Each structure stands twice: as structure tokens, then as C-alpha cells.
């Protein structure tokens, strides 16, 4: 055997090993692609119903938001009506009620016989050894 024949055999063996490794890699790649295809199919089968449910939930939420919006506008209208009503009642009855209250107060003051111009009696002062004792202490001393 010559050196060329040995080199040819080595190259043939190298190519056989290389082709074997490539064949194994291609088989594994094919298995990975099959598994990936199956996974994508399963995800698609599960995602379609989930998307349908999500779409239904969004539609339901939109309906509820429209209802809440209608309720909020009704509440705003009721609030403005209540404000207008309270303003009307205050302007209609407020002035006359104040006048009636003032008249009643004046009648009570007149009936009690004490006018606003009459000054109150000055408090009586007690002198004890050159100083004035406050009324609270006077009351305490009277009890003792």
C-alpha cells in the first residue's frame, strides 16, 4: 500500500464519519422540527378558544361600560336637578323663614321685658383686706 492509498482510505473514513454525524444531526433536526410542529399545532388548538373567550369578555366589558356610562350621566342629571331644586327652595322659603325667625326673636325679647338697650347688672364685688375676690372664690367661701 502506498501513501496515496492510505491517504485515500483516511479521507474515505473521515468522509464516512462526517456523513454519519451529519445524518444523525439531520435525523435529530427532523425530530425537533416534528416536535415543534406538533407544539405549534397544540398551541394553536388551545389559543383559538382562548382568543374567542377573550373576545367575548371584551364585548361584555364594553356592554357593561356603556351601561355604567348611561348610569353616570343619569346620576349627573339627577345631581343637577337636586341642586336646582335646593336653590329654588332656598330662595323661595329662605327669606320668609329668616323674617319669621327674626320676628319671633323680637317678640320674645319684647315679652321678656328686657330690651337690648338695658345694660346688665354689674357683678357685685367683695372686698377682702384690700383686694377683690373673684366670683368663683366668693361662691366657694359662701359654701364653707
Averaged confidence pLDDT in the chain: 84
- The predicted pLDDT at position 96 comes to 80
Smallest CA-to-CA distance from 126 within 117, 116, 114, 135 is with 135
Q: What is the pTM of this model?
A: 0.40
> Which pLDDT score, from 0 to 100, does residue 55 have?
94
CB 135 within 8 A of CB 123: yes
CB distance 76 to 68 below 8 Å:
no
Amino acid at each position: 500500500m502506498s501513501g496515496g492509498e492510505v491517504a485515500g482510505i483516511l479521507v474515505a473514513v473521515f468522509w464516512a464519519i462526517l456523513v454519519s454525524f451529519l445524518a444523525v444531526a439531520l435525523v435529530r433536526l427532523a425530530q425537533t422540527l416534528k416536535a415543534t410542529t406538533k407544539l405549534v399545532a397544540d398551541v394553536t388548538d388551545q389559543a383559538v378558544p382562548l382568543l374567542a373567550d377573550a373576545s367575548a369578555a371584551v364585548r361584555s366589558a364594553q356592554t357593561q361600560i356603556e351601561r355604567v356610562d348611561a348610569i353616570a350621566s343619569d346620576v349627573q342629571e339627577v345631581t343637577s336637578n337636586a341642586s336646582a331644586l335646593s336653590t329654588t327652595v332656598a330662595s323661595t322659603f329662605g327669606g320668609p323663614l329668616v323674617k319669621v325667625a327674626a320676628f319671633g326673636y323680637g317678640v320674645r325679647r319684647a315679652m321678656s321685658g328686657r330690651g337690648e338697650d338695658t345694660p346688665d347688672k354689674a357683678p357685685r364685688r367683695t372686698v377682702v383686706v384690700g383686694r377683690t375676690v373673684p366670683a368663683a372664690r366668693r361662691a366657694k367661701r359662701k359654701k364653707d
